[in-house]
């Protein structure tokens, strides 16, 4: 089993917060995150593509158009996108889930990692990224 690292979704949310609420001292962190997102290999994960749009939407509209086109190709007939988000389920009173090392892909309760089987979280993330991407133009 591979180690669980902070997801692109987490990185995107942190970058969005810093970009909207930070100051000049945050510029190096923002620049580093943008460089990281630009260098990621192309993915067939709708969730990963959506998170890249969220990160790069104001900095690189060209790549966001390419990523949006990829998302359009991945969309299912029912309007959703294929499941690709993995959701960690920490204990409800646990404050630092990143410190848990023994996540289990077989569990359906706490300490489990589950694929977004109903495609709700993946689809909502894609729709949000597309909406933000259009607004960023």
pTM: predicted TM-score of the whole model, two decimal places = 0.73
Asked whether the beta carbons of 45 and 71 are under 8 A apart, the reply is no
- Determine the Cα–Cα distance for residues 57 and 93; give it in Å rounded to an integer: 35
Question: Given this model, what pLDDT does residue 68 score?
Answer: 93
Q: Does 3 score more than 80 pLDDT?
A: no
Q: What is the pLDDT of residues 52-81, one digit of tens each?
A: 999 898 788 888 999 999 999 999 999 999
Cβ atoms < 10 Å from Cβ of 133? 21
Q: What is the pLDDT of residues 83-117, one digit of tens each?
A: 988 888 999 998 888 888 889 988 889 999 998 88
């Amino acid at each position: 089993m591979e180690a669980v690292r902070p997801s692109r979704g987490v990185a995107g949310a942190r970058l969005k917060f810093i970009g909207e609420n930070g100051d000049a001292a945050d510029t190096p962190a923002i620049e580093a995150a943008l460089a990281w997102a630009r260098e990621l290999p192309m993915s067939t994960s709708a969730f990963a593509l959506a998170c890249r749009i969220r990160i790069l939407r104001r900095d690189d509209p060209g790549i966001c158009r390419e990523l949006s086109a990829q998302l359009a190709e991945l969309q299912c007939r029912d309007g959703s996108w294929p499941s690709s988000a993995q959701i960690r389920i920490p204990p409800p009173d646990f404050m630092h889930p990143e410190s848990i090392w023994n996540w289990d892909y077989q569990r359906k309760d706490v300490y489990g990692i589950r694929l977004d089987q109903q495609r709700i979280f993946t689809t909502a993330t894609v729709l949000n990224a597309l909406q933000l991407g259009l607004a960023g133009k």
